[in-house]
Amino acid sequence: MTVFVAISRVLAGDAFAATVQAVVDAPDDPQALYNLGYELIEQGLAGAAATVLQRANYLAPQTEAIVTELSAALERDLRYEAARDVLLAAPELLTRSFICRYLLAFSSLMSGDLATARSVGRVLHPRSDDDGTMAQRIVQMLDRCDALEGVLPLDERDLRGWHLALTGGVLLHRSPYGLDEGMNGRYAFLQDSYERCVAGTRLVAAALAACGITLRRVFGLPDRDSLILARAAAHLLNLPFEEWPAQGSTAPGLIVAYDLGASEDEVLLSLHDKRPQQVLWAHASCWTRDQWFAADFTTYLYQKQQSPWGARLQAGPEQGTTVTVPADAARAEEIAARVASAVPERDDMADDEELAAFLQAVLEQASATMMALRQDGEREHQWAGSPVPSSRFS
């Protein structure tokens, strides 16, 4: 901690360094440890925060603020099972604290412990409107898990199943790279391609057909990446293209986002409520960060990626080196035309048969779980991680 004081002053300023110094001066003071843990979370250092807050929890067990902040740090570090265990070790708090009961139900769901989630999540006893909203979120996830029981395995390899259970959205593609070596269907680093965009469009078209959804137009969100993909999709699907209005629209259609994580807050607000005969498709979605909400259909999950027309890495002139190729400065319409004319390899994202089997099983027995088929209500939050683990960059 003494060394960290000097480092933190350079990286985060005097105020943060003073918070670290308080722990140096009083290493057994739970409040000083709590304050530092809180600030470490704010700095995006959830793993370090969990270490500090675990020490505080050891010194002052059953303290609500410390337990909930430790749970939050572990969740942000995608250590949901550890967060569950911390909460289970605080039975007194679970008896009197709604937020601790909620966090236990949530971390149990996110770690795949449905027995604990069900035992706690159905008896949360909310005491305010805000509590009620949080409790309803848990109930909705449990309802989807119940509906999918016997339909999907919902085990630690069922990436599509858990994506649907937690968000109501359908994951169209699982990465074949490292599938059995720790990735479990997610991408770590990906340089997207025109061909993958075309393959993703074909997958969402097949999913829409399987669901009996007929489209009338394609909307493109206002960011450049989404406009390029939406124009290409409109061409491939033989549908008229329209830009998504700033205030949103009630008109039926396929709303195309290249990556919802790149959308402005104003745009996300216009998409938050589900409207009749509107379907939201996100081509790419980061799985290590929380998203405002999940798309009805998502092509794939990644940790880090580069778009086909953005700045990209390629092999350098000397062996073992790389160079950065500048972003394509051509007009969005021109790039979209190039995308639409790309021809994917047969094995590029060729899990259409697997997707068809997944959709058939869900539609036959649990169609109410699918957000794409709903005509109203709020879209579901997409949380980082899930009960399916994946290797990732630290």
Confidence at 347, pLDDT banded by 50, 70, 90? low
Both structure tokens of 370: 């699918």
For residue 227, give every residue at least 6 positions away whose Cβ sits within 8 Å of its Cβ, in sequence order, or none. Answer: 220, 221, 243, 332, 336
∠ CA 198-195-334 to the nearest 5 degrees?
Answer: 75
Short-list 156, 224, 216, 227, CA closest to 185? 156
pLDDT digits (tens, 9 = 90+) for 27-86: 999 999 999 999 999 999 999 999 999 999 999 999 999 999 999 999 999 999 999 999
Mean pLDDT of 238-264: 96
Buried b (16+ CB within 10 A) or exposed e, 294-333: bbbbbbbbbbebbbbbeebeeeeeeeeeeeeeeebeeebe
DSSP state of 201: H
Give the count of beta carbons closer than 10 Å to the beta carbon of residue 394. Answer: 4
Return the residue matching tokens 């709303």: 255
Inform me whether the pLDDT recorded for 317 exceeds 90: no
Task: Look at residue 232 in the predicted model and tell me its pLDDT.
Answer: 98
Radius of gyration of the chain from its Cα atoms, rounded to whole angstroms = 23
Mean pLDDT of 181-200: 94
Sequential DSSP letters for 174-191: ---TTIIIIITT-EEEEE
Tell me the one-letter amino acid at 340.
Answer: A
For residue 247, give every residue at least 6 positions away whose Cβ sits within 8 Å of its Cβ, in sequence order, or none. Answer: 270
Inform me whether the pLDDT recorded for 346 exceeds 70: no
Q: Which domains does the chain have, with CATH numbers?
A: 1-78 (1.25.40.10), 159-373 (3.40.50)
pLDDT digits (tens, 9 = 90+) for 282-298: 999 999 999 999 999 99
Task: Look at residue 273 in the predicted model and tell me its pLDDT.
Answer: 95
Sequential DSSP letters for 307-371: -TTS-EEEE-SSTT-EEEEPPP-S-HHHHHHHHHT----TTTT--HHHHHHHHHHHHHH-GGG-G
Handedness of CA 33, 37, 43, 48 (dihedral sign): positive
For residue 192, give every residue at least 6 positions away whose Cβ sits within 8 Å of its Cβ, in sequence order, or none. Answer: 284, 305, 306, 307, 308
Task: Look at residue 148 in the predicted model and tell me its pLDDT.
Answer: 96
Inform me whether the pLDDT recorded for 267 exceeds 60: yes
pLDDT digits (tens, 9 = 90+) for 134-152: 999 999 999 999 999 999 9
Average predicted confidence (pLDDT) for the chain: 94
Inform me whether the pLDDT recorded for 207 exceeds 60: yes
Inform me whether the pLDDT recorded for 348 exceeds 60: no
Confidence at 118, pLDDT banded by 50, 70, 90? very high
Inform me whether the pLDDT recorded for 233 exceeds 90: yes
Measured CA to CA, the distance from residue 221 to residue 8 in angstroms comes to: 40
The distance of Cα 279 from the centroid of its chain, to the nearest Å, equals 18
The distance of Cα 320 from the centroid of its chain, to the nearest Å, equals 33
Short-list 181, 172, 224, 180, CA closest to 201? 172
